[in-house]
Amino acid sequence: MTSKRAGIHRISELANVSIGTVDRALHGRRGISEATRSKVLRIAKRLAYSPNPAARALARGRANLRIGVCIPEEIHFFYDQMRRGIFDEARRSGSFGVEVLYRPVSGLGKGEARHVKQLLDEGVRALIVTPGNPESVAPVIDEAEERDVRVVCITTDAPRSRRSSAVCVDAALSGRLAAELMARFVPAGSKVAVITGMLTAEEHRLKTEGFCGTFRSNCRGGTIAAILEGHESESQSSRRA
């Protein structure tokens, strides 16, 4: 057998079954015996066969990958560009049957668990989420992964969840770099204040920790006068109420 990519017609010929039977075997559908399924899969493996997603999408005439996106609407200069990048890439992948369901939250950490749950109920096969409040959204992320829905956290992370991956900068390193610069701008013994979004967000917490530790070691006698949060999550607001 050759390792060159082969089509389902060749697999059908070698397995002595119909093309429909090959399709059922390759995609885990019912209607064939386990012996036939195993036979087809063995031949497909020997032929190094991999389905063409574009052809599958065109044959079905509909999207075969529905992606849910839940990111904040606030901080427009930043999140508008992020949203635009996601949609631009989805359009470029349109021939592969990609559909985006956009369910934004008004602000970081505001109702994201509810929105992600709604996206799951709408049958998405993958999720992109910015977890401003990882404690509240982690159980929903775990539920998604249990349902074979892949979750990618973007900008900030939910590290205690079972998300598939995260795309973000090294937040602690960013904080340390800012502290090194600040230590050069101010005299020894200076007091500085740290103003961040909200410490429930992993990105903001790690940046703050990185800044505070590095500033104290780089600015002789320097201290952190205050750490101020400029944004509250829903859980913080409810606790204050």
Q: Is the pLDDT of residue 225 over 80?
A: yes
Q: What type of residue sits at position 17?
A: V
d(CA 223, CA 187): 12
pTM, two decimal places: 0.65
Q: Is 237 exposed, middle or buried (0-12, 13-18, 19+ CB in 10 A)?
A: exposed
pLDDT tens sequence across 20-55: 788 788 877 777 899 998 999 999 888 888 765 545
Domains within the chain, CATH numbers bracketed:
8-51 (1.10.260.40), 65-167 (3.40.50.2300), 171-233 (3.40.50.2300)
Percent of the chain with pLDDT over 90: 53
Selected residue with higher pLDDT from 12 and 57: 12
